[in-house]
Amino acid sequence: MVRSPLIDGHGRQIGDVRISVTDRCNFRCQYCMPAEGLTWLDRDGVLSFEEIQRLVGLLAELGVRDLRLTGGEPLVRRDFPSLVAMLAPLVEDLSITTNGFLLERDAAALVAAGANRFNVSIDSLQRDRFFEMTRRDALPRVLRGLETLAAFPEAHPIKVNAVAMRGFTEDEALPFARFAREFPYQVRFIEFMPLDAGHTWSPDQVLTGDEIRAAIHAVFPLEAEPREPHATARVYRFADGQGQIGFINPVSEPFCGDCDRIRITAEGKLRTCLFSLNETDLLGPMRAGATDDDLEQIIRDAVWRKELKHRVNEPGFIQPDRPMSAIGG
């Protein structure tokens, strides 16, 4: 069935949904989770595979073409490749954001299930610094996972995402530039956002994309690629043609104007912005017997109120209670 497109109150058409398939994670990244003391949702409180399939099917009827599965760490959800196989036929593009720890085990099954794009998060190419940031000594294993994935042509282009924090990422810029030149990965630096579990974010901890770009450009000259509509990253190619590098600058250069994204948390709450202070429950109505038409109306009403932009740089900004791991980045 085709329904009319999902449009927000500012005229933006929603084309991209990001679903968190679990709040659990096997890492404890400093900018995302506390070192310990998190309580997980119980299994009953999380969307089932069938519920996710129903929501994605309905959103596809409403014009959503791109689906990203994330978490928490999506690969820790039991039978995750089976979920991917259920969802891939419903959308044009199915991507997965992962910390890579279980990719050695799952890459083949995920590609076979229909995942066609992957973002692998790596914050440092040095083992001790990776450990410091993620609180897990897992860099060699993550790199093996990346290599396993890279063996599948269907998985390319593979993106490697690094969160950029002042006092840490300055020393990573050139090693990542060399990495992006040597291997077939597009490395992207993401500015640290106020979505950390400890609520200790401050603007001076953000290392801006522009600063990193300038440092890389001084050694390996860069040329800008045109920006694709709805894109989060500003992409540059190395002037000698050897690879690409990207910058996701939500803090210093917000890209809210043509944002076409919505998010659904592991417990079935619809969020219209990473920084939303309100969310809309979908799981409760689904389990209470809502029809697809009822759900469509709930989703349309929420999307209509989608925020024009985030207010991270404005006085009075309030950080959402949920950290990134509970939103689905």
Neighbouring CB atoms inside 10 A of 151's CB total 10
Report the largest interatomic distance among the alpha carbons of the chain, rounded to a whole angstrom. Answer: 60
CB 196 to ligand SF4: min, Å: 10
Residue 244's binding partner out of ligand SAM, ligand SF4, none, with CB under 5 to 8 Å set by partner kind: none
- What does the DSSP 8-state code read for residue 13? B
The footprint of ligand SF4 (CB under 6 A) covers 25, 27-29, 32-33, 71-73, 99, 121, 324-325
What span, in angstroms and rounded, lies between the C-alpha atoms of 87 and 84? 5
Residue 249's binding partner out of ligand SF4, ligand SAM, none, with CB under 5 to 8 Å set by partner kind: none
Residue 28's binding partner out of ligand SF4, ligand SAM, none, with CB under 5 to 8 Å set by partner kind: ligand SF4
Answer for the pair 130, 170: CB distance below 8 angstroms, yes or no.
no
Q: Among residues 22 and 272, whose Cβ is nearest to ligand SAM?
A: 22
Q: Among residues 6 and 149, whose Cβ is nearest to ligand SAM?
A: 149
CB 197 to ligand SF4: min, Å: 9
Nearest CA among 255, 272, 253 for reference residue 264:
272
Q: For ligand SAM, which residue has the nearest CB? A: 329
The footprint of ligand SAM (CB under 6 A) covers 25, 31-32, 70-71, 73, 97-99, 121, 161, 163, 190, 192-193, 195-196, 324-325, 329
Beta strand 261-264 pairing with 16-20: parallel
CB 124 to ligand SF4: min, Å: 13
Nearest CA among 17, 10, 29 for reference residue 325:
29
Q: At what angle do helices 292-304 and 49-61 cross, to 10 degrees?
A: 70
SS3 177: helix
What span, in angstroms and rounded, lies between the C-alpha atoms of 199 and 319? 8
CB 275 to ligand SAM: min, Å: 11
CB 127 to ligand SAM: min, Å: 18
Residue 60's binding partner out of ligand SAM, ligand SF4, none, with CB under 5 to 8 Å set by partner kind: none
By the 10 Å C-beta count (0-12 exposed, 13-18 middle, 19+ buried), 36 is classed as exposed
CB 325 to ligand SF4: min, Å: 4
Q: Among residues 27 and 176, whose Cβ is nearest to ligand SF4?
A: 27
Residue 195's binding partner out of ligand SAM, ligand SF4, none, with CB under 5 to 8 Å set by partner kind: ligand SAM
Neighbouring CB atoms inside 10 A of 113's CB total 19
Answer for the pair 139, 123: CB distance below 8 angstroms, yes or no.
no
CB 5 to ligand SAM: min, Å: 27
Length of the chain: 329
Residue 33's binding partner out of ligand SF4, ligand SAM, none, with CB under 5 to 8 Å set by partner kind: ligand SF4
Q: Among residues 130 and 247, whose Cβ is nearest to ligand SF4?
A: 130
- What does the DSSP 8-state code read for residue 306? -
